[in-house]
Amino acid sequence: MRVLFISDVYFPRVNGVSTSIATFREDLAAAGVDTVLVAPEYAHSGAVDAKDVIRVPSGRVPRDPEDRRMHWRALRHTLRGLQAQHFDLVHVHTPFLAHYAGVRFAREAGIPVVETYHTFFEEYLHHYVPLLPRALGRQLARGVTRSQCAAVNALIAPSQPMRAMLTDYGVRTPIEVIPTGLPASSFKPGDGARFRAQQQLPANRPLLLHVGRVAHEKNIDFLLTSFVEVRRARPDALLVIAGEGPARKHLGEQVQRLGLARDVAFVGYLDREQALADCYAAAAVFVFASRTETQGLVLLEALAQGCPVVSTSHLGTASILQPNCGARVAPEEPAAFAAAATGILDDPQRAAQLGMQGRSYAHSWSSASMAGRMREFYSGLR
C-alpha cells in the first residue's frame, strides 16, 4: 500500500502535527505501508528529512514567524509531478492549502482522500485573527470545517472528544478515532541531572515543566498566574517552559510583571533524540492548561518518563486524563491548580506512585499499535 501525505507543517517546525506525521510514517513503514510526504520548505529543512519527503517552496505567515505557507503554484506543480506515481489514497493532515490541494489531487487520480483533524480551527482563528469578532469567527470556522470535512471520504480524529466536537458541528463524514501513539524511544529514561547541567539550572530546586508551542492558545498565561501561588507555598520551585512561538515576548513581559524573573526559565526547543527526555526526567511535575489540544501528546511523553502531570481537562486532553494514569486533573483556577502541583511536590511518596502509574499507562499508547489501526482503516477505504 502506498499513501500520499500532505501537510502545511512539518519538522523542523516542532508541534504535535509534525510529531504525529513522523511517528505514523515510521510505524506505517514497519507495517508495510509506504508514504510520501509533501510539506513546506523551511530554512535548513533538508537536514531533518527522512526518506520520501518532498519540500515545496513557501513564504512567511503573517503574525506567525515559525510557520510557512506553501506557494500554491509550486504546490500544484509538485503534485502534478507525482501524478505518474501510484498511490492508493491521499492523507491530508492540515486544513489549509494542503487540504484543498490534497482533495484536488485525489479527485484527479480517482482515489480516496482522508483527513486527520489535528487542528481546533475555531480557537486558532480567534487567536490569529484577533480583530474578527469571536462569535463571527466561531461561525466562520465551523462553516469551513463542515465544508472541508464534506469534501473527504473519511476523517480521523485524534481523540473521542474531538470526534464529538466535529459531530456537534454537523459533520456527517464517517469519523474514526485513532490517536497518535508513543514510539518505543519515548520510554528510554532521560537524564535529569544532565539537563540541569546543560541549562545551568540549580540541582536542588524542584522543577515544574511545560513543553509545547509557546503560543497564545496554549494558555501559558494561566500557568504563570498559578505559579505565583505555587511560589507562595514553595519558594524554591522553578518553572521551565520548553518551546518557542509567537507568545514568547508576551510571556516574557508577563514574567517580569509578576516578579518571576528568577523563577521562570525559557529553554527554547529541545532535541527530541535526547534533550527532551532529559527535560522530562528533570521535572517534578508537568503542568498543562491548553484548551485547544486535539489530543495532548506531551502529556503522554511526560508520563512515559515517570513525570507526574497536573492538567486541566479540555477537548483532547480529556481522553488521556483517565483514572490511574499518573495525573491529577485540576480546575482552571490558579489557587486550586497550584494546590494540586504543590501537593505532589510536598509528598514524594505520592509523586513516586504517580510516576509508576504514568509509565505503566503510557505503555498502552504504543505507536506500533496505532499504526496497525491506521493500516486497517486505510484498507477499508480501498
Same domain, 375 and 275: no
Strand partners of residue 38: 6, 54
Q: What is the pLDDT of residue 238?
A: 98
Q: State the Rg of the chain over Cα.
A: 21
Same domain, 141 and 127: yes
Same domain, 169 and 307: no
Q: How far apart are the first and last CA of the chain?
A: 10
Q: What is the pLDDT of residue 327?
A: 98
- The Cα–Cα gap between 127 and 135 comes to 13
Q: What is the pLDDT of residue 111?
A: 98
Strand partners of residue 176: 156
Cell of 19: 510529531
Q: What is the pLDDT of residue 175?
A: 98
List the Cα angle 133/135/139 in 5-degree steps.
115
Same domain, 172 and 256: no
Residues of the chain short of pLDDT 70, as ranges, are 45-48, 121, 123-132
Q: What is the pLDDT of residue 46?
A: 66
Same domain, 127 and 53: yes
Q: Which segments of 16-98 are extended strands (E)? A: 34-40, 53-56, 58-61, 64-70, 89-92
Burial class (CB in 10 A: 0-12, 13-18, 19+), 117: buried
Q: What is the pLDDT of residue 124?
A: 62
The residue range of the domain holding 19 is 2-181+366-379
Q: What is the pLDDT of residue 191?
A: 97
pTM for the whole structure: 0.86
Q: What is the pLDDT of residue 127?
A: 56
Answer whether 3's CB lies under 8 Å from 35's CB. yes
Quick one: three-class SS letters along 124-152?
HHHHHCCCCCHHHHHHHHHHHHHHHHHCC
- The Cα–Cα gap between 317 and 292 comes to 9
Same domain, 170 and 79: yes
Q: What is the pLDDT of residue 126?
A: 57
Same domain, 128 and 227: no
Q: What is the pLDDT of residue 137?
A: 72
In angstroms, the Cα distances linking 307 to 189, 283, 287 are: 11, 7, 10
Q: % helix / strand / coil in the chain, to the nearest 5?
A: 45, 20, 35
147-202, pLDDT tens digit by residue?
A: 999 999 999 999 898 999 999 999 999 999 999 999 999 999 999 999 999 999 99
Instruction: Give the number of domains in the chain.
Output: 2
Same domain, 136 and 191: no
Q: What is the pLDDT of residue 141?
A: 83
Same domain, 206 and 354: yes
